Amino acid sequence: MIKTLTIYLILSILTTTSVFTSDDFVYDIYLIISGSPTFSIFKDERIPGLTDKTAFGYGFTGRVMWHPDRNLSFGIMSGYLLLANDEIEIKPQVNGDKFSKAYASLHAVPLQFVVTTQKHGFEAGIGMGPYILISNIEYETIATSNRNELGLTLFSSYTFPLTEQIDIGPEIRVLYLSYRGIFSIMPTFTLRYNVWSY
């Protein structure tokens, strides 16, 4: 994963250098906002004793992209994802007591560098960088833990113009977190706004 990231960054720097070699280009700054349900598959148990390795959630992401007048664009992406939300039934410690419940959830916040290529409304991209994973367990009190994990995001979309500055369309997004073995699929609706052209 680290070798792939290094090669990816070197290629991006070389491409960026070539972009600056001409003064004839028009540069655009885009804000892209996406919202979607998520379907996640867990390689390992996300909670000890929980056998179900699939979960549903939702997510919202935004990315700011610098797009010179050629196929490549570069930017950063962040957002919020709910990967899993579980209700756990706890057996009583003493006979006659009622069952109690605990609640556990796993959230993710991406902070990624993104490179995309686009043509005729189609766009494909890759994001690499850390995800902040936030685990919450609620049982009488709330316990929270955080962990940074390297993640990979792949996405592909098709947008069509709504106005001169706004495009909308569908997007499919795939997320992979290698350490926890989490694989998520997100069918997404995307809004793309041209913030500035110069």
Q: How far does CA 116 lie from the centroid of its chain?
A: 14
Contact present, 157 and 190 (Cβ < 8 Å): yes
Query: Taking 70 as the threshold, does the pLDDT of residue 168 lie above it?
Result: yes
Average pLDDT estimate for 127-141: 91
Query: Taking 90 as the threshold, does the pLDDT of residue 15 lie above it?
Result: no
The pLDDT of residue 51: 74
CB atoms within 10 A of CB 59: 22
The pLDDT of residue 5: 53
The pLDDT of residue 12: 53
What is the rounded distance in angstroms from the CA atom of residue 109 to the CA atom of residue 188? 17
Helices (H), 98-138: none
Comparing C-alpha atoms, which of 66, 63, 78, 57 is closest to residue 15? 66
Average pLDDT estimate for 100-108: 89
> Confidence band (pLDDT; 50, 70, 90) for 20?
very low
What's at 72, amino acid-wise? L
The pLDDT of residue 115: 94
pTM, two decimal places: 0.79
Query: Taking 70 as the threshold, does the pLDDT of residue 52 lie above it?
Result: yes
Q: Which of 19-28, 60-69, 177-186 has the lowest mean pLDDT?
A: 19-28
CATH topology of domain 27-88+109-133+149-197: Porin (2.40.160)
Which is higher by pLDDT, 85 or 22? 85
The pLDDT of residue 128: 94
Which is higher by pLDDT, 75 or 70? 75
The pLDDT of residue 13: 46
Which is higher by pLDDT, 69 or 193? 193
What residues does each domain of the chain span? 27-88+109-133+149-197
Average pLDDT estimate for 79-98: 80
